[in-house]
């Protein structure tokens, strides 16, 4: 039981990549917190894992709503006393060409994919750094050596970006949000490592999930064929992403921080 007694908070945990991540954490003994808009799907995940996971807290809400986010983080810290892993997987995809996309859609994508990621990081980090910050400040004041990061509890943040962060036709808003997630990840990695908090991002290529099923079936499978050719390893499964997320939370990745990992299906170029 690799994650026994650990607590994983997964946004967007009711579907696709987030859901598979929840399942894998639960199979490995973790206590689970799910935050998602979709109450019905949260219930179906709960049923799916109830045989091996009875430590399960679900909160329905919107990642772009600061109050919802704070309530979720407060609930988890109250119930479990701590959170060890924050996985930011909630996201939306609304594609359109530059000349057609509506301003409201652009704003919505920024709010969910980018601000939502930031809000969850901020709410967790405020809890995580209280004691380490005080210890570091006291050491500085007293002229004592600054404690090593590894003297503080080990925390991980994993953000789900996308290969689209490198630019993709029809994805002006989506690619901007996912490139923003990489910026957030790199900044958090640099700022937070002093407190033993490691931050990483994964960049999946096309993965079968409810988010992409419309695209995969569209135009009699034209896009499915296109992506199968574009990615030599084909279209991915949520498991391919969840496996990497769990690796980034495990002891094997102890010496890593700020990794931006393409899960690219072998794609050699991005256009």
Ligand X SMILES: NC(=O)c1ccc[n+]([C@@H]2O[C@H](COP(=O)([O-])OP(=O)(O)OC[C@H]3O[C@@H](n4cnc5c(N)ncnc54)[C@H](O)[C@@H]3O)[C@@H](O)[C@H]2O)c1
Nearer to ligand X, 152 or 174 (CB): 174
Q: Which window, 25-33, 135-143, 183-191, 207-215, contacts ligand X (CB under 6 A)?
A: 207-215
Provide the minimum distance between the beta carbon of 224 and ligand X in the complex, in angstroms, as a whole number.
12
> Is residue 17 close enough to count as binding ligand X by CB under 6 A?
yes
Interface with ligand X (CB under 6 A), residue total 28
Write the interaction track for ligand X spanning residues 30-49; mark x where CB under 6 A is met and - where it is not: ------xxx--x--------
93 or 125: CB nearest ligand X:
93
Q: What's the helix, strand, coil split of the chain in %, to 5?
A: 50, 15, 35
Other beta carbons less than 10 A from residue 105's beta carbon? 17
User: Minimum distance from CB of 93 to ligand X (Å)?
Assistant: 6
Q: Which of 21, 28, 58, 89 binds ligand X (CB under 6 A)?
A: 89
User: What b/e sequence results for 32-43 when a residue is b if at least 16 CB atoms lie within 10 Å of its CB, and e otherwise?
Assistant: bbbbbbbeebbe
Whether 174 is catalytic is yes
Q: Where are the alpha helices (DSSP H) in 3-146?
A: 16-27, 39-49, 66-80, 103-109, 116-128, 130-141
Q: Rounded distance, CA 167 to CA 92, Å?
A: 17
- How many helices (H) does the chain have, and how many strands (E)? 9, 7
Interface pick for ligand X out of 53, 207, 245, 246 (rule CB under 6 A) = 207
**How far is Cα 49 from Cα 33, in angstroms, rounded to an integer?**
13
Of residues 153, 167, 210, 214, which one binds ligand X by CB under 6 A? Answer: 210
User: CB of residue 124 vs ligand X: minimum separation in angstroms?
Assistant: 16
Which C-beta is closer to ligand X: that of 231 or that of 257? Answer: 231
Residues 132, 139 contacting (CB under 8 angstroms): no
In degrees, rounded to 5, the angle at the alpha carbon of residue 96 between the alpha carbons of residues 90 and 100 is 135
The answer to whether 62 contacts ligand X (rule: CB under 6 A) is: yes
Q: Given the rule CB under 6 A, which residues bind ligand X?
A: 12, 14-18, 36-38, 41, 62-64, 89-93, 112, 160, 162, 204, 206-207, 209-212
């Amino acid at each position: 039981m690799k994650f026994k007694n650990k607590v994983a908070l997964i946004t967007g945990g009711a579907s696709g990549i987030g859901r598979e991540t929840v399942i894998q954490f639960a199979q490995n003994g973790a206590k689970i917190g799910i935050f998602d808009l979709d109450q019905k799907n949260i219930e179906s995940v709960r049923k799916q894992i109830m045989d091996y996971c009875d430590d399960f807290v679900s909160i329905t809400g919107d990642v772009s709503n600061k109050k919802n986010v704070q309530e979720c983080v407060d609930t988890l810290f109250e119930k479990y006393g701590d959170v060890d892993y924050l996985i930011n997987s909630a996201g939306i995809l609304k594609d359109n060409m530059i000349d057609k996309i509506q301003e409201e859609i652009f704003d919505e994508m920024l709010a969910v994919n980018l601000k939502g990621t930031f809000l969850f990081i901020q709410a967790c980090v405020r809890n995580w750094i209280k004691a380490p910050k005080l210890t570091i400040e006291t050491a500085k004041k007293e002229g004592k050596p600054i404690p090593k990061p590894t003297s503080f509890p080990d925390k991980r943040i994993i953000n789900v970006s996308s290969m689209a962060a490198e630019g993709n036709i029809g994805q002006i808003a989506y690619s901007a949000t996912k490139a923003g997630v990489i910026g957030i990840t790199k900044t958090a990695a640099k700022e937070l490592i002093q407190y033993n908090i490691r931050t990483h991002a994964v960049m999946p290529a096309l993965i079968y999930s409810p988010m992409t099923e419309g695209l995969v079936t569209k135009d009699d499978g034209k896009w499915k064929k296109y992506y199968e050719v574009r990615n030599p390893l084909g279209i991915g499964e949520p498991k391919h992403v969840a496996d990497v997320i769990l690796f980034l939370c495990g002891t094997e990745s102890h010496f890593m921080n700020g990794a931006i990992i393409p899960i690219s299906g072998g794609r050699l170029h991005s256009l």
